[in-house]
């Protein structure tokens, strides 16, 4: 396995090997799926759209429908206006969505298609029905990563749709960032338990975890509705989770509709969930109900019960910045030692945050943005760790390193199903993560210990 | 069930409207231009005289196609599986990332010291700076770094959409780096917008492999019956099963293009005496070019399905024409069939008369009809994503195919006879005498000749047409891909992925057939579809609400 990987690290300036990121449009597609009745549209050649749909489908085991402008060589030279106009006509006639959310690819970005102009012309020419909406975002694949695409889609949706009526409502906007449908469901549960009226955007629960009924719905029940998207401009506050995913959208709404924004980390782990609950408490001027206190207490109880197994265990992590920041904090909180934390997404801010979090326990932590899994692997060969956390691609590293305990975390997870069913956010999600960590350690012991050392009780 | 079923069993042998009516219903929703275009890409089959189908034409924007791009066809399909070439995608990160281990062209290292580069995704990870100032410098540096890091035998470079637009000359970069590093380095201009589908990428890949690898190594191969398998990508281990059977027969495979194959094997594969073609669409160019240059004849085989496998083995034996081989092939068939027969007999009890529909890339929509036939199942509709008219109608239409504007820029290589190596084998005379006795070379009869009369043939099927097909005929199983799988299954129909095999396989050859029979049996007899309705929805009012739900659900 990965026999070409040696422990010798050479500096690479041009070659990316085993990336810890992918490109913008898939993030835009995912965010657009969190809008009710929305068809994501990829303005580029059709390969991108096929790849993005396939990869999201492999992750969720659910239908992921999107349309494409299907550029040919001619359109690539002369511009994609005719393709997008034809596409909009076909989409509304055949598939009747409430809304189409256009994103771009490197192709249409390089040729410089003016999407708002094309949309305006299509509207004028009657290719877009009167009661239908087309929005767009620019998602050049050669800038940032899939997370950037998610962020761009969220900010653009607000730019197009959110309005301020001048009357502030007693509603809080929750931007969950790029998390799973199960996480979005958990965030809604917690906000509900706190007694708050909220609007969650985007919301892929009941879209990418829809039930089997024997009937296919192209536009499932879930997703933030148009009314909600418009009404977000009247909310009294936005709580934006995950700076990279949600800050741009929150700032856009602040600028556009004067809704004050509070940006916090993704509520993964103890302290980040505390911050989320506290933000809800302060925003709503409510007290935290006893049931949430109990949930938190059960988490702290498990941390203390299992402390001996976590203490100073070295962990290597890779994935997306917002996820990694919260997860690194959680690992530090339970007594573990994040040793190397790698993201493919560019941005020095990420490296600073990781260093801050680890300052007390491991000032030598290696934190790298715009890096890759190949580098992470080579580093592990030189500095063995006890645990690896990351998306499915980590399994090859784990196997190459003699079945290093490995926990799937982040996007994409192509070879397990739990991520779509159970949250990792909130206290409940943190309990699940702890269970996974202890299971990974215990499974390794049970498998590798000699007979006389196998324990009945752990 | 819909009203149309009141007509009873239609010409497709299932309940539902006539196929002509079904076509009408599929088309009626479309805007005028779309309707006209799609109307040319579907027809009622006539196996005697296949009708002209509008294949390999541009995709209708916004229709929800299954198709991918030229990069996928070139890097993802044809060259990507060669395991000891280091493959570098020149472009932003997505293309390299999505084609990283997502096709199951299986590989194992066969010699000490080799490296399997398929576990790696390598890319120049183009940034804005390269879009503005050009990416050639970064590509050169990436090739240098890749060589330093891995010391491969060869490096290949793949262009993605922006590369052509910003004018990076990957071929001159490859030539320079080949000189500098002293290993074989070559590029593929497979920008995603070229052609109309993966198919353009196949052609570009064929040209590149032919120019840069085939014929580099003239070492003679010590074996009596030497062949290449062209267009077999070892999905789920298919090529290994084919290899197992051929070995039992005493036939040696020099190169499989390109499942589980090494760089050296490809460079040497012109030493074979015969090319047999599995996937006609992706590799027929290579078969033709190798015949022109080296004189190696080719014919089509199909190792999917029992009859196909038997026929293919016998045809290879007949080509070599030696009694020893012909007898050995019969012995192998008899021994293998003894294992398969009880499985077929058992499975057929449950599968006989069931229906299937197949919508797969450019060859399996045809090949797998054999396997369903083996189980007594009927294929009521089939189509390809990106095949050409010859794959539908047979190679005899080749002279009549018009190359349209979208495909015109795909290079056609001028190939000439190799003056020294053309006559290395004694095949020319043998070929002639076989042909005189009625043996077909360079043949492919196409999918439609095998399909029943009035079955529905649909090229580049749209999401809407797929939904309509299920609504009208509710086939017992559909063979398709990952993007459709869960759409189809949400409608209560099992979907067998015929690209990835749902992570199982092999399905080729005899052992593969057993795997497939058991899998289809499981899928068409699983209890899960009976669990969909909750018990509290089973009373009369529950049924009424389910009907209402059905009405709401239709798009």
Q: From residue A96, how far is each of A93, B167, B549 by CA, in Å?
A: 6, 39, 18
* Distance from chain centroid for Cα B555: 31
Query: Which one of B121, B193, B463 has the shortest CB-CB distance to A18?
Result: B121
Say yes or no: A330 and A420 in one domain: yes
Question: What is residue B91's predicted lDDT score, i.e. its pLDDT?
Answer: 98
> Is B146 within 8 Å of A15 when comparing Cβ atoms?
yes
Asked, for residue A237, whether it belongs to a domain, the answer is yes
Do A272 and A187 contact (CB within 8 A), yes or no? no
- Name B259's bridge partners: none
Q: From residue A75, how far is each of A295, B35, B243, B290 by CA, in Å?
A: 56, 22, 44, 35
> Is A214 within 8 Å of B69 when comparing Cβ atoms?
no
Q: Tens digits of per-residue pLDDT, A255-264?
A: 999 999 999 9
Asked, for residue A91, whether it belongs to a domain, the answer is yes
**Residue A59 phi/psi, 5° resolution?**
-75, -45
CA–CA gap between residue B143 and residue B159 (Å, rounded)? 14
What count of other Cβ atoms lies within 10 Å of the Cβ of residue A442?
14
Question: What is residue B522's predicted lDDT score, i.e. its pLDDT?
Answer: 97
**Catalytic residue, candidates A23, A48, A64, A106:** A106
Asked, for residue A342, whether it belongs to a domain, the answer is yes
Unique residue bearing structure tokens 């469901």 = A185
- Chain A residues closer than 8 Å to B120 by CB: 2, 4, 17-18, 374
The pTM (predicted TM-score) of the whole model is 0.97
**Residue B232 phi/psi, 5° resolution?**
-135, 120
Give, in words, the CATH class of B70-212: alpha beta
Question: What is residue B537's predicted lDDT score, i.e. its pLDDT?
Answer: 86
CA–CA gap between residue A205 and residue A184 (Å, rounded)? 6
Q: List, as ranges, residues 71-90 from B with C-beta within 8 Å of A.
A: 71-72, 88
DSSP label at residue B4? G
- What's the rounded mean pLDDT across residues A202-218? 96
Question: What is residue A155's predicted lDDT score, i.e. its pLDDT?
Answer: 98
DSSP label at residue B421? T
- Determine the residue of chain B that is closest to A71 in CA distance: B193
- What's the rounded mean pLDDT across residues A119-125? 97
CA–CA gap between residue B507 and residue B516 (Å, rounded)? 6
Bridge-based pairing of strands B456-458 and B378-383 is parallel
**Residue B126 phi/psi, 5° resolution?**
-55, 135
CA–CA gap between residue A204 and residue A221 (Å, rounded)? 10
CA–CA gap between residue A179 and residue A411 (Å, rounded)? 9
Say yes or no: A280 and A301 in one domain: no
- Chain B residues closer than 8 Å to A145 by CB: 93
CATH code, domain carrying A264 = 3.40.50.1980
| Upper half-sphere CA count for residue B377 (Cβ side, 13 Å) | 29
> Is B62 within 8 Å of A94 when comparing Cβ atoms?
yes
Domain residues for A435?
A: 293-453
Q: What percent of chain A has pLDDT over 70?
A: 100
Do B478 and B358 contact (CB within 8 A), yes or no? yes
Say yes or no: A252 and A373 in one domain: no
Q: From residue B147, how far is each of A246, B3, B88, B142 by CA, in Å?
A: 40, 65, 11, 9
Give the start-to-end residue ranges of the domains of chain B.
2-63+448-528, 70-212
Taking phi over 0 as left and psi of -120 to 50 as alpha, with beta for the rest, B509 belongs to left
* Distance from chain centroid for Cα B502: 15
Say yes or no: A304 and A433 in one domain: yes
Last residue of a domain, one of A259, A288, A317: A288
Unique residue bearing structure tokens 């719905």 = A217
Say yes or no: A310 and A269 in one domain: no
DSSP label at residue B222? -
- Determine the residue of chain B that is closest to A24 in CA distance: B94
Query: Which one of B72, B116, B144 has the shortest CB-CB distance to A47?
Result: B72
CA–CA gap between residue A62 and residue B407 (Å, rounded)? 34
Say yes or no: A208 and A117 in one domain: no
Burial bucket for residue B18 (CB in 10 Å: 0-12, 13-18, 19+): middle
- Chain B residues closer than 8 Å to A3 by CB: 109, 115-116
- Average pLDDT over chain A reads 97
Q: Name residues of chain B where pLDDT drops below 50.
A: 1-7, 542, 544, 548, 551-555
- Name B122's bridge partners: A17, B88
- What's the rounded mean pLDDT across residues A412-434? 97
CA–CA gap between residue B62 and residue B58 (Å, rounded)? 12
Helices (H) and strands (E) in chain A, counts: 18, 14
Say yes or no: A191 and A113 in one domain: no
- Chain B residues closer than 8 Å to A57 by CB: 482-483, 485-486
Q: Tens digits of per-residue pLDDT, A45-102?
A: 999 999 999 999 999 999 999 999 999 999 998 999 999 999 999 999 999 999 999 9
**Catalytic residue, candidates A110, A143, A263, A288:** A110
Number of domains in chain A: 3
Closest Cα partner for A250 from A167, A345, A347, A154?
A154
Please list the helix, strand and coil fractions of chain B in percent, rounded to the nearest 5, in that order. Answer: 50, 15, 40
Q: Which pair of structure tokens corresponds to residue B357? A: 């529909």
Residues in chain B: 555
Say yes or no: A279 and A388 in one domain: no
Note whether B2-63+448-528 and B70-212 share their fold: yes
- Helices (H), ranges, B119-235: 128-133, 136-150, 161-166, 170-181, 198-212
CA–CA gap between residue A324 and residue A342 (Å, rounded)? 8
- Chain B residues closer than 8 Å to A377 by CB: none
Q: Tens digits of per-residue pLDDT, A89-118?
A: 999 999 999 999 999 999 999 999 999 999
**Strands, sheet with B477-480, edge to edge from the N-terminal-most edge strand:** B42-44, B456-458, B378-383, B355-359, B477-480, B495-497
**Strands, sheet with B85-90, edge to edge from the N-terminal-most edge strand:** A16-17, B122-123, B85-90, B154-159, B184-188
DSSP label at residue B344? H
What count of other Cβ atoms lies within 10 Å of the Cβ of residue B349?
9
Say yes or no: A57 and A140 in one domain: yes
Say yes or no: A248 and A319 in one domain: no
Taking phi over 0 as left and psi of -120 to 50 as alpha, with beta for the rest, B22 belongs to alpha
Q: Does B545 touch chain A (CB under 8 A)?
A: no
DSSP label at residue B452? P
- Name A135's bridge partners: A101
Q: Which residues of B are catalytic?
A: 69, 72, 103, 202
- Name B232's bridge partners: B258
- What's the rounded mean pLDDT across residues A391-409? 97
Indicate the helix (H) or strand (E) that contains B495.
Answer: strand B495-497
> Is A69 within 8 Å of B66 when comparing Cβ atoms?
no
- Determine the residue of chain B that is closest to A56 in CA distance: B483
Say yes or no: A92 and A192 in one domain: no
Say yes or no: A95 and A173 in one domain: no
> Domain B2-63+448-528 belongs to what topology?
Rossmann fold (3.40.50)
Question: Mind telling me how many Å the CA of A113 is from chain B's nearest CA?
Answer: 13
> Is B145 within 8 Å of A91 when comparing Cβ atoms?
no
């Amino acid at each position: 396995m990965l026999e070409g990987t040696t422990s010798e690290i050479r500096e690479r300036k041009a070659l990316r090997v085993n990336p810890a990121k992918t490109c913008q449009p898939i993030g835009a597609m995912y965010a657009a799926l969190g809008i009710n009745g929305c068809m994501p549209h990829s303005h580029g050649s059709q390969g991108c759209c096929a790849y993005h749909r396939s990869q999201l489908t492999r992750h969720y085991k659910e239908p992921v429908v999107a349309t494409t402008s299907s550029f040919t060589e001619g359109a690539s030279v002369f511009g994609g206006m005719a393709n997008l106009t034809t596409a909009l006509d076909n989409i509304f006639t055949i598939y009747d969505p409430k809304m189409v959310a256009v994103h771009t690819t490197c192709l249409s970005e390089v040729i410089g298609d003016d999407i708002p102009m094309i949309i305006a012309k299509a509207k004028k020419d009657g290719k877009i029905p009167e009661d239908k909406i087309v929005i767009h975002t620019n998602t050049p694949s050669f800038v940032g990563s899939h997370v950037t695409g998610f962020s761009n889609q969220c900010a653009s949706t607000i730019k197009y749709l959110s309005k301020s009526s001048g009357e502030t409502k007693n509603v809080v906007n929750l931007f969950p960032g790029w998390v799973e449908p199960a996480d979005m469901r958990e965030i809604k549960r917690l906000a509900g338990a706190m007694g708050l009226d909220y609007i969650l955007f985007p919301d892929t629960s009941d879209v990418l975890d829809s039930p089997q009924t024997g009937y296919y719905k192209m536009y499932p029940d879930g997703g933030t509705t148009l009314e909600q998207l418009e009404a977000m401009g009247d909310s009294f506050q936005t709580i934006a989770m995950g700076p990279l995913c949600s800050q741009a959208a929150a700032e856009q709404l602040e600028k556009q509709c004067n809704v004050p924004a509070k940006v916090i980390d993704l509520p993964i782990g103890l302290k980040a969930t505390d911050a989320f609950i506290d933000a809800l408490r302060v925003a709503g001027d409510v007290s935290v109900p006893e049931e949430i206190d109990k949930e938190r207490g059960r988490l702290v109880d498990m941390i203390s019960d299992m402390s001996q197994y976590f203490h100073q265990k070295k962990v290597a992590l890779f994935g997306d910045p917002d996820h990694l920041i919260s997860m690194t904090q959680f690992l530090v909180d339970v007594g573990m030692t994040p040793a190397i934390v790698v993201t493919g997404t560019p941005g020095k801010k990420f490296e600073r945050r990781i260093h801050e979090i680890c300052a007390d326990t491991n000032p030598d932590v290696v934190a790298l943005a715009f890096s890759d899994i190949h580098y992470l692997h080579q580093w592990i060969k030189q500095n063995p760790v006890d645990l690896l956390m990351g998306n499915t691609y980590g399994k090859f590293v784990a196997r190459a390193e003699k079945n290093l305990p490995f926990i799937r975390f982040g996007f994409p997870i192509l070879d397990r199903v739990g991520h779509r069913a159970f949250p990792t956010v909130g206290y409940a999600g943190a309990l699940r993560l702890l269970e996974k960590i202890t299971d990974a350690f215990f499974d390794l012991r049970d498998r590798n210990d000699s007979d006389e050392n196998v324990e009945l009780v752990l | 069930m819909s009203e149309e079923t009141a007509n009873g069993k239609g010409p497709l042998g299932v309940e539902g409207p006539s196929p002509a009516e079904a076509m009408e219903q599929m088309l009626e929703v479309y805007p005028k231009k779309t309707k006209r275009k799609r109307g040319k890409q579907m027809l009622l089959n006539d196996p005697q005289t296949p009708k002209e189908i509008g294949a390999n034409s541009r995709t209708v924007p916004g229709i929800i196609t299954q198709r991918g791009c030229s990069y996928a066809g070139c890097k993802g399909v044809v060259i990507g599986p060669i395991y000891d070439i280091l493959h570098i995608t020149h472009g932003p990160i997505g293309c390299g990332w999505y084609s990283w281990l997502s096709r199951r062209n299986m590989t194992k290292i066969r010699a000490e010291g080799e490296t399997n580069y398929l576990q790696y995704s390598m890319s120049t990870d183009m940034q804005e700076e390269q879009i503005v100032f050009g990416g050639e410098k970064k590509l050169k540096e990436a090739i240098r770094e890749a060589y330093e890091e891995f010391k491969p035998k060869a490096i290949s470079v793949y262009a993605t959409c922006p590369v052509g637009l910003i004018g990076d000359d990957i071929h001159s970069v490859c030539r320079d780096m080949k000189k500098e590093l002293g290993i074989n380095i070559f590029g593929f201009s497979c920008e995603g917008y070229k052609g109309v589908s993966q198919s353009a990428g196949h052609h570009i890949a064929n040209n590149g492999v032919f120019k840069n690898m085939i014929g580099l190594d003239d070492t003679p191969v010590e074996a009596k019956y030497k062949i290449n398998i062209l267009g077999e990508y070892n999905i789920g281990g298919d090529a290994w099963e084919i290899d197992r059977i051929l070995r039992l027969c005493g036939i040696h495979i020099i190169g499989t293009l390109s499942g589980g194959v090494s760089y050296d094997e490809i460079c040497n594969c012109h030493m074979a005496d015969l090319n047999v073609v599995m996937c006609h669409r992706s590799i027929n160019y290579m078969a033709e070019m190798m015949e022109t240059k080296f004189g190696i004849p080719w014919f089509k085989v199909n190792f999917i399905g029992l009859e196909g496998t038997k026929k293919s083995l016998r045809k290879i034996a007949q080509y070599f024409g030696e009694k020893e081989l012909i007898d050995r092939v019969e012995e192998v068939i008899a021994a293998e069939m003894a294992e398969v027969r009880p499985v077929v007999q058992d499975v057929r009890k449950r599968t006989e008369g069931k229906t299937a529909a197949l919508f797969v890339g450019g060859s399996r929509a045809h090949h797998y009809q054999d396997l369903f036939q083996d189980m007594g199942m009927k294929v009521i509709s089939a189509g390809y994503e990106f095949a050409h008219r010859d794959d539908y109608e047979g190679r005899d239409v080749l002279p009549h195919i018009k190359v349209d504007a979208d495909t015109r820029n795909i290079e056609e290589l001028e190939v000439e006879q190799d003056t020294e190596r053309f006559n290395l084998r004694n095949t020319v005379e043998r070929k002639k005498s076989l042909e005189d006795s009625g043996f077909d070379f360079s043949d492919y009869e196409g999918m439609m000749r095998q399909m029943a009369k009035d079955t529905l043939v649909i090229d580049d099927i749209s999401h809407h047409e797929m939904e309509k097909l299920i609504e009208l005929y509710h086939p017992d199983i559909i063979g398709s891909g990952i993007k459709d799988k869960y759409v189809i299954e949400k409608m209560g129909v099992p979907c067998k992925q015929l690209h990835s095999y749902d992570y199982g396989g092999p399905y080729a050859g005899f052992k593969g057939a057993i795997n497939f029979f058991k899998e289809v049996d499981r899928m068409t007899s699983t209890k899960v579809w009976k669990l969909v309705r909750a018990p509290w929805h089973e009373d009369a009012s529950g049924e009424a609400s389910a009907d209402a739900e059905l009405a709401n659900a239709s798009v």
